[in-house]
Amino acid sequence: MISNLEEEPEWECLVVIRDQKNHKIALNRECSGVMDIPAVKLWWPHLSEPKGEQAGYLYTLEVHLFSSTFPGKEDIYRQKFGVRTIQWTNTSFSVNEKPFYFRGFGRHEDYNVINHSLSCLMQ
């Protein structure tokens, strides 16, 4: 807890997006806003990636919070994230504008006698 401060500290931010090789690819010195990722690499579900693309590509968002009130002190938060588009209609579901096939979806069902599972006898 911070005590005995005459005034509320002025907080500053540095927001960085890093690629999988830990290179800085975008930077913002504001605590809010929009950032563009140049030549974005899309996140693809496993077994759905096109040739030459990597499944599950993740970037790292890095937020640095600091104040001149506390010189040398800094808080850093890192969060991995992927970039993708999702679209659906009554008859289709697409990830990154490519049709997506759900594998193993809806395999477990509810039965009054055995509860939340699917036994070999019920298959």
Residue-wise pLDDT tens digits, 43-69 = 998 888 888 888 899 999 999 999 888
The CATH number for 35's domain is: 2.60.40.10
Residue 4 covered by a domain: no
CA atoms of 18 and 21, how far apart (whole Å):
8
| pTM for this entry | 0.71
CA atoms of 15 and 65, how far apart (whole Å):
9
Residue 118 covered by a domain: yes
Nearest CA-CA partner of 101 in 43, 51, 48:
48
- By residue range, what is the domain housing residue 110? 11-122
CA atoms of 80 and 59, how far apart (whole Å):
6
Reply yes or no on whether the pLDDT at 17 is more than 60.
Answer: yes
Q: How many CB atoms lie within 10 A of CB 60?
A: 14
Residue 6 covered by a domain: no
Considering its fold, how many domains does the chain have in total? 1
Residue 1 covered by a domain: no
Residue 23 covered by a domain: yes
CA atoms of 50 and 27, how far apart (whole Å):
29
Residue 38 covered by a domain: yes
